[in-house]
Amino acid sequence: MRKIITKILCLKQNIYKPYYPKFNIAYGVDKNFLYGCGISIASIALQNTKFNYRFHIFTSYFNDDNKILFFNLSQQYNLKINIYLVKDQSLKLLPNTKNWSYHTYFRFIIADYFVDKIDKILYLDADMICNNKLDKLQEINFNNNEIAAVVIEKDEKWWKKRAIALKTVNISKGYFNAGFLLINLKRWAEEEISTRAMKLLRDKNSKNKFSFLDQDVLNILLMNKVIYLAKKYNTQYNINHDLQSIQKQAFNIDAVFIHYIGPTKPWHEWGTSQFLQPFIKAKNASPWKNKPLLKAKSIHLLRYCAKHKFKQKKYYDSIKYFILYYLAKSKKIFKRLKSNV
């Protein structure tokens, strides 16, 4: 673990909250998700002012600007925030997609790091915004067989589809989203979940069936060993669905975490939606208040940006981003053809 984690930055001790039990929350992010991670932490602090939370951010990138922002966040809400700089070249050899980089595997590093240090930890994707108190979540206790508390995803039709794809019949009884994991660290270690997951992801005969990478793997390894929580702990919303002319329902008032799934995130400047208010509220109550939202840079985000601009009737911007998209795509194709010559 010392070889993987090259540096730990401790930004602040929350010394004024000694009477509340500690609750540990962790994120695994790349440089593109640090913005969202900061707002996610701010949203938790905003909704849970009296609780003693310890935040742990595992990342491969953290510059001076990030250090100032997260330090100010720790000062503003009296939080303890630890930053763990990760360097593990072996993770880059594992399957990845345009939407999921190798940083998705940081959740395994997180779980292994905290074994023998604490009993349980809440892993969250950085695109999750807290909308309610977490006191009931803190009270969850595991029995001898349970490894994690999770939230089931979609419906039975989806579960059966994943069961067929993964050739695992019991997944038809329930398939969970791995963006929310309350982990029983002792049982995780006893079952060697991280080691077994890496083995499956490296297996040439298995890895091609994992469309959702480590999420698929975790559904296989944790089958019949999880607590299913209410959907309010992982209420999903895809901003790209706003491109479709379909009426969307508002979030339930009791939603605890709102999970902005999909390529377009609430910290992207083209991602306008009536359902971004929880994110905007947290952003305005954080050191990122005056920070501009991020512009599209990668090929697939340039495409989504152009589509959203068109939907918003910002036709000049839409044309501009479509041109940038085709130029970037053509450059990539030309580079690939040149390398094959």
Task: Give 256-304 pLDDT, tens digit per residue.
Answer: 999 999 999 999 999 988 899 999 999 999 999 999 999 999 999 999 9
**Same domain? 340 vs 211:** no
In a domain, residue 278? The reply is: no
**Same domain? 224 vs 317:** no
In a domain, residue 220? The reply is: yes
Domain of 139, CATH number, reads 3.90.550.10
In a domain, residue 107? The reply is: yes
Report how far Cα 248 is from the mean position of its chain's Cα atoms.
23
The pLDDT of residue 16: 55
In a domain, residue 266? The reply is: no
| Domain C-terminal end among 235, 264, 284 | 235
Q: Please report, for the chain, how many H helices and E strands are present, in that order.
A: 11, 11
- Residue 248: is its pLDDT beyond 80? no
**Same domain? 211 vs 316:** no
Average pLDDT over residues 206-217: 87
In a domain, residue 257? The reply is: no
| Domain C-terminal end among 217, 235, 253 | 235
| Residue 126: how many other CB atoms lie within 10 Å | 26
Distance CA 263, CA 258 (A): 15
In a domain, residue 147? The reply is: yes
Least confident of 55-69, 242-256, 281-295: 242-256
- Geometric angle at alpha carbon 233, from 287 and 153, rounded to 5°: 120
**Same domain? 304 vs 161:** no
**Same domain? 200 vs 88:** yes
pLDDT band, very low/low/confident/very high, at 17 (cuts 50, 70, 90): low
Least confident of 64-68, 234-238, 248-252, 280-284: 248-252
- Residue 19: is its pLDDT beyond 60? no
Average pLDDT, the chain: 91
In a domain, residue 249? The reply is: no
pLDDT band, very low/low/confident/very high, at 242 (cuts 50, 70, 90): confident
- Residue 339: is its pLDDT beyond 80? no
Q: Please give the backbone phi and psi of residue 258, each rounded to the nearest 5 degrees, phi first.
A: -105, 120
| Domain C-terminal end among 235, 257, 275 | 235
**Same domain? 104 vs 23:** yes
Burial of 331 (0-12, 13-18, 19+ CB in 10 A): exposed
Q: How close are the terminal C-alpha atoms of the chain, in Å?
A: 42
Distance CA 193, CA 6 (A): 23
**Same domain? 94 vs 186:** yes
Q: What is the pTM of this model?
A: 0.93
- Residue 341: is its pLDDT beyond 80? no
Average pLDDT over residues 139-150: 94
pLDDT band, very low/low/confident/very high, at 21 (cuts 50, 70, 90): low
Distance CA 51, CA 145 (A): 29
For the chain, what percent of residues have pLDDT higher than 90?
Answer: 74
| Better-predicted residue by pLDDT, 167 or 73 | 73
In a domain, residue 193? The reply is: yes
**Same domain? 66 vs 176:** yes
**Same domain? 91 vs 229:** yes
- Residue 306: is its pLDDT beyond 60? yes
For the chain, what percent of residues have pLDDT higher than 70?
Answer: 94
**Same domain? 215 vs 121:** yes
Domain range enclosing 338: 295-341
Q: How many domains does the chain have?
A: 2
**Same domain? 22 vs 141:** yes
**Same domain? 30 vs 99:** yes
